[in-house]
Structure 1
Amino acid sequence: MDIDPVTVAAVSGVTVEDTLTELDEAVAIAAVLPGFRFAHDLVRDSLMLDLAPTDRARIHLRAAEHFEARDGHPAQIAHHRLAALPLGDPLAASRAAAAAAEESLRQFAYEDAARLFDQALSALGRPDGELLIGKAVAQYLANDIPLAQRTSEQAAELARRTSDPVTLARAALVMPEQADPIWLRTIKPWCEQALAELPAEDSVLRSRLLAMRAVIEVTDYAADEAMRTSSAALAMAERLDDPTTLIEALRAHKHAHSGPAGAEVRLELGRRAVALTVRAGDAAACWGHLWRYDAFMQLGRVHEAEGELDLCERVATRLNWQLVRWHLCLGRAAIAQGQGRFADADAQLDRASRLADRGDNPHAHAGTEITRAYYTAASSNQVGDAVAAIVRGFGSSLMTRFTLAGLYSLIGDLDRARAQFDTWPPIAEAQVQEWYRLSVYGGYAQVGAALGDTVACAGAYERLLPYAALHMTTGSNAVITGGSVHFYLGLAAACCGRTSVAADHFRAANTSNAAAGLVPHIAQGHFQLALVLPRAEALAHAREAHAIAVRLGMSRLSARTQELLTSYV
């Protein structure tokens, strides 16, 4: 550690010349190295411990005042102000710590920022909405989601107690990208109260709150309301021309268009977000590229989707943003799995799981384990340890029951699949969030076909047919690709006895999956063709499905195709 003679002189109350003389003597006895550096940190620490606590605090206070007079680094000032307490002004110490925290946020040192905001609160000795919001944002960016939620709740409680709609609004907006339904239910009343109490004219806070309300409405199955609310948020953001507010409004509009009819719209919204990078910062590029990845995956343009991940990763590495890294890992896993690179997919899921565990985020962990379970089920007769993680993350929700029935049907456990399927509502009565709509319709086709439920399959066919050109992914956070929607149309048609129509869909699925490089799904298409075509045509498809399954290590499909081939002998 370098020793600055000017600072030492100011703190000691002596001249610089006298300080230099003393330092020369310290060099002579090897306590200080030439160039005025401590020979070891222990020497410095020992000297500080030799001082009485009051003298030590006085030195820290003088050092803080010296650096403040010279516009020193915020971290230096905060360190000395905090170390001086109880000497000095607690308010000045709190402000110094907050300034250092803000600087840490700008440097992407999120854990340091959270610690400094906490120290600022301790120095102040009372709750403060501004500091609590800053701490929650830092915790969120550090991927410590449960802590960020608790701190946001503290800020909201304080805001309600003090009738402060601004702080209440900011507490609701700490995590604009967090679409966890449980968290959205928590902040919903905060949003509504803040919107009711804030001035009615255009403002950044009002636009951001409307954007968050739209995301909540999507989660609450209120698709029409979400479209209206997100449009209002976007129009207001455009009038305000505030780049950060525009990003949140674009995100809300993306959620409102997260159904299968909105893929092309989401591509354009992602392009607009990326274009705002110069004004809104690198985070805009991250989210814009991720939105475009989701849209490209649903459009079956997998190679372009992978390009968006590459562009996002360059920015995410610079930002040190764990949440974006989690999305990137899941996206790369989805592509690797879809292309039959199962070991690569597992490696990416392991990285995603570590990121979710680091943040103690059950929602993210459940999402990761659902993905892993589908990958495992696609290549074996197991679902791994996913069931407990899914229930922990999503409870007994309809999404949980959809997921479990789909997994059990994939591995041929039809008794468990039926037990879950029997709890599903009729497809005409199913309340579906827009981003999940295509996957739910695909689930009715897949599970219904496995169980021989012609009613479910007929309903699924009707609802999937308008989206035959798409691929089976969610409209937001696409972590699995089920390949071409034509495949699921084929399953539903075959279950309903329309084998000729089913064969046409399976052929179309193979063409689309081949263009996207989704080899495992091509194998599944050949297998289904072998089941619905006359034996003379079926044999070649069975052989092709078996060859791919063996080459990729898809043990369940390999066993089924071998059984089919044996039956032809």
Structure 2
Amino acid sequence: MAGAAVAYGMIGLNFLSDRHGMLGLMTVTGHSEILVGRDADLAALHDALRRVRSDEPAAMLVGGEAGVGKTRLVEEFTRALAGEPVRVLTGQCLELGEEGLPFAPFAAALRELVRREGREVLDGREADFARLMPELGPPSEFGEAHRGLLFELVGALFARLCAQRPLVLILEDLHWADRSTRDLIGFLIRSSRAPRMLLLATYRTDELHRGHPLRPFVAELERVRGVRRLELDRLDREGTAELLGHLLGAEPEPQTVDAVSSRAQGVPFFIEQLAATADPACADLPETLRDLLLSRVDLLPEAAQRMLRVAAVGGTRLGHDLIARVAGVDEITCESALRVVVAAQLIVFDPDGGYEFRHALVREAVHDDLLPGEHTRLHARYAEAIETDPQLVPPGRAPAEIAHHWHAAKNHPRALVTAKQAADEARRRFAYAEQARLLDRALELWEQVPEATELLGVRHLDLLEETALVAIDSGELQRALSLTRAALADLDTGAEPVRAARLLVRRAKLVRLAGKSDGFAEAKEAYRLLTGAPDDRVRAGLLGDVAYLFAKSDGDEVERIWEQLRASADQHGDAAAQIAAELTKGQVCAGRVPAAEGLPILRAAVAEARAAGDERALTRGLINVSDVLFELGRYAESATAAAEGVPHAVRYGVSRTTGVYLLSNQAEALLALGRWDEADALLAEAARQDPPGLVAVPWLRLRARLRLFRGHPGAGHLITRLVSMLGKPYVPPEKKLWMLELRILAALSAHDGAAVLSAARAAVHEPVLLDRPRYAWQLLTAAARAATFHREAGRGSVHREAGPGSVHREAGPGLASPGDPAWAGPSRSAGDSASDGATPADVERLVERIRWAAQRLPRRYPAELAAAAQVEAELDGGADRWNAAVAAWRVDSQPFELASVLLRAAEANAADRPAAASALAEVTTIATGLGAAPLLEAAEVLARRLGVRPAVAGPATEVLTAREHEVLRLVAEGQSNGQIAHRLFISPKTASVHVSRIIAKLEVTNRVEAAAVARRLGLLDD
């Protein structure tokens, strides 16, 4: 989650509710210096303190299950108060229950007060306070009947303290509070009401069983004015990924994030424990944590333990009838045992009428603790029960559940048959990843079941081919490569040419995606085999795939293949093949004719696919349509086309491949529109899919650029990962240009002169440079920046000030460039040469090569025209050139590109201060809206150098993006993040990011203030 702020360090943490608490039975030390996902919660605490500073009494009741981070949230809150005129006192309830020491947290808080400020702070009432702190001496002689006097004393003391400066009184672990402590808290909140005191209490929600005395107490307090309850949620997957990244010291693999997210279920303490193991994948369950989780189980009666073991075999969620059937006990015994387990809060009631383990790791620990015979017997009973009555599990899940349990029970024949049955069911649901896993299991079991062919009714080669093809659809490249190789080795291509062609086509795609080769040899062999095969629907479909592959390598031959494909499809009336033929024709045309001419062909094919319900063809076509629309500069339409395809890719089960391309296309269009937060959310979703091989390049490239432009520290990791792929034997031309451009930007960011020149020279001499004009122009702008960088360095006019993103020029116009996101890199001291040995002749050769390429690239669409103008300005300089570049980017309308050249234009127009100030004001507005910190900082540096003030252009409304205006309107209506997400068709995470940015831009602390400021400034006016 965005906005990490504090540490999750948990020592002596108690967890999971019995009177002592599960974690209370032992001390666990886990430590991380990062807390993620608590920005809104911290803002709520600071908002409460703001109200206190305005002489309003306030109390915050912070609840959440053990391990979720309540204590660390409070610690970060108090840490932020260091140096401020605020007094903070802390006390903790003791784990002794109703019979424990009365007023324990207040005694601890007062001890802290006396230790810091001396006994004088008690104003001569030491004897009275001795009832709370015996070390003060003999207590005064008022009895228990006059307990109210003690309450008045405490209230008066806090009132005196508050008169001096605001007081934050923190009371931890209120779930262990005794009756006297609760009464004193109630008095302070209801009666004393010290105007400048914030009472901050934490408690565990998972401790509050039905009869717990804190439940009604908290409910009563909530009705008091100024009292608010704050419930801390578990981290979502993004939060888990971010915390793991900090704990592991590197960005975790998506599979690791998925596994930890599923097992730890967003509890930071569990995430820390899993990350602390030696296993890089965090798959091990530490023995200390396992013992911790089982300690509470050991306290249950034996009957309840048996029932918990039965439940653990069934999974994290399961129904009551299934548990009862497998347990083999009468209904009363079953309910009695389950009631004990539920009371211990090890499992909870599921909204659908079943049960769910409160924590997946508890289920895992209980399951792993089963005896071998017990494990086999219970899994077999689950399989038999579900086979007898499939209604015991959710619809559609019976085949997979049965296969799982027979496999766990080690019944190989039944496991083989049910695995194939479950795989067939998964295929019908387009669940290719699940189907691939089940087919892999069937292949593993094949050798262990002699009668496998008779049981399944298929040959081993049939199963091998099916598994290979499914591995492709599920995005398992390496597995698919191994399987296709094995299948082709076992196949008689002369006897089965169509099957061989099918496998060769799939293999051609695989080697391309893996970066092993262009796949053209496999495609040619497949075409040869199909040429002599009977003309039928299968052959027609494969010809479409061959044409697609030839389109990438042999455009002349693909037209002949297309004619064959179209004739075959028409002859057989095969709608799918006809659509595939039209899509192939559109792709060929898109590469050979202007995009505006190829677009109608693609759109017609997409319309046919949509009408026919052909989701595979539809998603493929929408990728191409969105791509062409982007090239034409029609960014909103491009985003819409890609967005249409995403749900189809999900339904068709190709989220890891086709779905990632669609997400990336949509994100690229949103970046061009300036909707960076939405784009980042889409790229995060693409990353979660863990796309294989070169399929990952589009999202990596876009997120690396976004992070670079925002000055995000994670940009370097992504760029390194991306550029490393240049070493693959085969990289498609457009992807190669992306990598080369980012290598230049990375070198500029590091202020590494030698690397800048080397990367730029390699890029402009790349043989495929002129093959992809759209991306070649982007690369040339980066190379031109590199040339300017070295020209300025050669004149000795550039050095770094202290602080990233700042630049100072002693002489000379131009820039290596404060508008360039590269200026987020490490500082160099004054006098350091950025050229690192580059001679003026080296730089001029680079310039000449850039000019050579620029003269040969077409200038057809707005972005190409704008990039050409920018390259000319970069190489030739001058106010007129930069003003022309600004005008060209205004036509294209990409805000970041416009702001970057505006910054350069401001410097070029330095003699015209009003013009420079106006340009810098516009840069400031755009950079603020985008969150482009390096660009914003560069504008501020240039403004200081020029002696102008880069005031935000126009009213405050211009600081907000169009999407943020939409969100702000809904915030003003009182809509929650979930409701905003539903209304705007975005994710709740994206809605949350928008709200956070609005609050930051309007310089307020919460949604209510944001709405009030919006109304006052007229930001809600039409």
Counterpart mapping for 1:531-550 below 5 A: 531-533=907-909, 535-536=911-912, 537-550=915-928
What is the aligned counterpart of 2:681 among 330, 347, 350? 347
Task: Give the equivalent residue in structure 1 for 2:938.
Answer: 560
Distance of 2:618 and 2:404 partners within structure 1: 34
Provide Cα deviations, 1:373-428, integer angstroms capped at 9, x if missing partner: 2112223386420243124444266544344125434776543221122224647x
1:466 is aligned to 2:891? no
Task: Give the equivalent residue in structure 2 for 1:371.
Answer: 702
Would the alpha carbon gap of residues 408 and 160 (structure 1) be closer, same or farther in structure 2, given more than 3 Å must change? farther
Would the alpha carbon gap of residues 542 and 182 (structure 1) be closer, same or farther in structure 2, given more than 3 Å must change? same
What is the identity, as a one-letter code, of the residue corresponding to 1:144?
A: E
What is the aligned counterpart of 1:497 among 876, 899, 919? 876
Distance of 2:610 and 2:495 partners within structure 1: 36
Q: Is the 8 A contact 2:583 2:605 kept in 1?
A: no
Distance of 2:470 and 2:422 partners within structure 1: 12
Would the alpha carbon gap of residues 384 and 167 (structure 1) be closer, same or farther in structure 2, given more than 3 Å must change? same
Distance of 1:106 and 1:174 partners within structure 2: 21
1:279 is aligned to 2:617? no
Task: Give the equivalent residue in structure 2 for 1:104.
Answer: 426
Partner SS state of residue 185, structure 1: coil
Provide Cα deviations, 1:251-299, integer angstroms capped at 9, x if missing partner: 4444434549543314531441342234353233323333222222222
Q: Is the 8 A contact 2:667 2:682 kept in 1?
A: yes
Looking at both structures, which has the greater relative contact order when contacts are Cα pairs under 8 Å and sequence separation is at least 6?
A: 1
Task: Give the equivalent residue in structure 1 for 2:671.
Answer: 337
Distance of 1:30 and 1:206 partners within structure 2: 63
What is the identity, as a one-letter code, of the residue corresponding to 1:401?
A: L
Distance of 1:244 and 1:179 partners within structure 2: 25
Structure with higher helix content:
1
Alignment: residue pair count: 495
What is the identity, as a one-letter code, of the residue corresponding to 2:646?
A: E
What is the aligned counterpart of 1:487 among 866, 890, 899? 866
Segment of structure 1 superposing worse, 540-549 or 169-178: 169-178
Q: Is the 8 A contact 1:292 1:305 kept in 2?
A: yes
Structure 1 position 443, deviation (Å): 0.9
Partner SS state of residue 369, structure 1: helix
What is the identity, as a one-letter code, of the residue corresponding to 2:527?
A: L
What is the identity, as a one-letter code, of the residue corresponding to 1:506?
A: V
What is the identity, as a one-letter code, of the residue corresponding to 1:422?
A: R
What is the identity, as a one-letter code, of the residue corresponding to 2:848?
A: V
Structure 1 position 369, deviation (Å): 2.3
Would the alpha carbon gap of residues 373 and 414 (structure 1) be closer, same or farther in structure 2, given more than 3 Å must change? farther
Task: Give the equivalent residue in structure 2 for 1:147.
Answer: 479
What is the aligned counterpart of 2:499 among 149, 167, 170? 167
Would the alpha carbon gap of residues 226 and 565 (structure 1) be closer, same or farther in structure 2, given more than 3 Å must change? farther
Counterpart mapping for 1:217-232 below 5 A: 217=550, 219-220=552-553, 222-226=554-558, 229-230=561-562
Counterpart mapping for 1:414-453 below 5 A: 414-424=753-763, 426=765, 430-432=767-769, 436-452=772-788, 453=846
What is the aligned counterpart of 1:312 among 638, 645, 656? 645
Structure 1 position 489, deviation (Å): 0.9
What is the aligned counterpart of 1:385 among 703, 714, 717? 717
What is the identity, as a one-letter code, of the residue corresponding to 1:545?
A: V
Counterpart mapping for 1:28-43 below 5 A: none
Structure 1 position 186, deviation (Å): 7.3
Structure 1 position 447, deviation (Å): 0.8
Would the alpha carbon gap of residues 461 and 423 (structure 1) be closer, same or farther in structure 2, given more than 3 Å must change? closer
Counterpart mapping for 1:41-56 below 5 A: 49=377
List gaps (5 residues or longer) in structure 2: 1-324, 336-369, 389-397, 789-845, 948-1022
Structure 1 position 451, deviation (Å): 0.8
1:525 is aligned to 2:859? no
Task: Give the equivalent residue in structure 1 for 2:99.
Answer: none
Task: Give the equivalent residue in structure 1 for 2:892.
Answer: 512
Provide Cα deviations, 1:212-269, integer angstroms capped at 9, x if missing partner: 444444554x455555555654554455442333444444444434549543314531
Would the alpha carbon gap of residues 549 and 279 (structure 1) be closer, same or farther in structure 2, given more than 3 Å must change? closer
Distance of 2:489 and 2:424 partners within structure 1: 23
Structure 1 position 138, deviation (Å): 2.5
Structure 1 position 554, deviation (Å): 1.9
Distance of 1:495 and 1:29 partners within structure 2: 81
Q: Is the 8 A contact 1:438 1:464 kept in 2?
A: no
Q: Is the 8 A contact 2:622 2:641 kept in 1?
A: yes
Q: Is the 8 A contact 2:423 2:438 kept in 1?
A: yes
Would the alpha carbon gap of residues 510 and 307 (structure 1) be closer, same or farther in structure 2, given more than 3 Å must change? same
Distance of 1:418 and 1:129 partners within structure 2: 54
CA RMSD of aligned residues (A): 4.6
Distance of 1:168 and 1:433 partners within structure 2: 36
What is the identity, as a one-letter code, of the residue corresponding to 2:667?
A: A
What is the identity, as a one-letter code, of the residue corresponding to 1:456?
A: R
Would the alpha carbon gap of residues 403 and 168 (structure 1) be closer, same or farther in structure 2, given more than 3 Å must change? farther
Task: Give the equivalent residue in structure 2 for 1:117.
Answer: 439
Structure 1 position 76, deviation (Å): 11
Task: Give the equivalent residue in structure 2 for 1:5.
Answer: none
Q: TM-score, normalised by structure 1?
A: 0.71
List gaps (5 residues or longer) in structure 1: 1-22, 34-41, 64-72, 471-483
What is the identity, as a one-letter code, of the residue corresponding to 2:899?
A: A
Task: Give the equivalent residue in structure 1 for 2:626.
Answer: 293
Structure 1 position 305, deviation (Å): 2.0
Distance of 2:524 and 2:919 partners within structure 1: 57
Would the alpha carbon gap of residues 277 and 159 (structure 1) be closer, same or farther in structure 2, given more than 3 Å must change? farther
Q: Is the 8 A contact 2:920 2:939 kept in 1?
A: yes
Partner SS state of residue 422, structure 1: helix
What is the identity, as a one-letter code, of the residue corresponding to 1:560?
A: A
Distance of 1:519 and 1:425 partners within structure 2: 26
Distance of 2:401 and 2:943 partners within structure 1: 74
Would the alpha carbon gap of residues 465 and 561 (structure 1) be closer, same or farther in structure 2, given more than 3 Å must change? farther
Distance of 1:81 and 1:47 partners within structure 2: 11
1:193 is aligned to 2:531? no
What is the identity, as a one-letter code, of the residue corresponding to 1:189?
A: A
Task: List structure 1 runs of 4+ shifted beyond 6 angstroms.
Answer: 26-33, 45-48, 73-88, 175-179
Distance of 2:929 and 2:404 partners within structure 1: 60
Structure 1 position 79, deviation (Å): 9.7
1:401 is aligned to 2:740? yes
Query: Rg bigger for which structure?
Result: 2
Q: Is the 8 A contact 2:660 2:689 kept in 1?
A: yes
Provide Cα deviations, 1:96-125, integer angstroms capped at 9, x if missing partner: 865653332111232342244345542536
Q: TM-score, normalised by structure 2?
A: 0.42
What is the identity, as a one-letter code, of the residue corresponding to 1:421?
A: A
Would the alpha carbon gap of residues 556 and 141 (structure 1) be closer, same or farther in structure 2, given more than 3 Å must change? same
Would the alpha carbon gap of residues 250 and 184 (structure 1) be closer, same or farther in structure 2, given more than 3 Å must change? farther
Task: Give the equivalent residue in structure 1 for 2:982.
Answer: none
Q: Is the 8 A contact 2:508 2:520 kept in 1?
A: no
Task: Give the equivalent residue in structure 1 for 2:512.
Answer: 180
Provide Cα deviations, 1:19-48, integer angstroms capped at 9, x if missing partner: xxxx9xx99898999xxxxxxxx9xx9999
Distance of 2:333 and 2:521 partners within structure 1: 62
Partner SS state of residue 466, structure 1: coil
